[in-house]
Amino acid sequence: MTPRFLVGIVLAALIGMGCRVFGIPSPAPPMLIGALLVVAMTSGYQLTDRWLVRRKPARAADPEART
């Protein structure tokens, strides 16, 4: 687990607890299908980001390759 992942989990838990304590409507979908949609969208975003980072050409990382 990366630190970014852990920070995200902690932040999500704190937001959920804060909403519950202060009586604010939860920003999460109330039904299981809505929650699964959020998980699917987040997973798709993360997987696409990783896939695009791997596809970067080697030239882009080389500061000497300015053409």
Domain boundaries, given as residue ranges, for the chain: 14-49
Residue 61: burial class (beta carbons within 10 Å; 0-12, 13-18, 19+): exposed
Q: What is the pLDDT of residue 5?
A: 83
| Cα–Cα distance for residue pair 54/4, rounded to 1 Å | 19
Per-residue pLDDT of the chain (67 residues; tens, 9 = 90+): 788 888 888 888 888 788 888 888 876 777 888 778 888 888 888 888 888 888 766 555 556 655 5
| Cα–Cα distance for residue pair 67/64, rounded to 1 Å | 9
- For residues 59 and 65, the answer to whether their CB atoms sit within 8 Å is yes
Q: What is the pLDDT of residue 26?
A: 72
How large is the C-alpha radius of gyration of the chain? 18
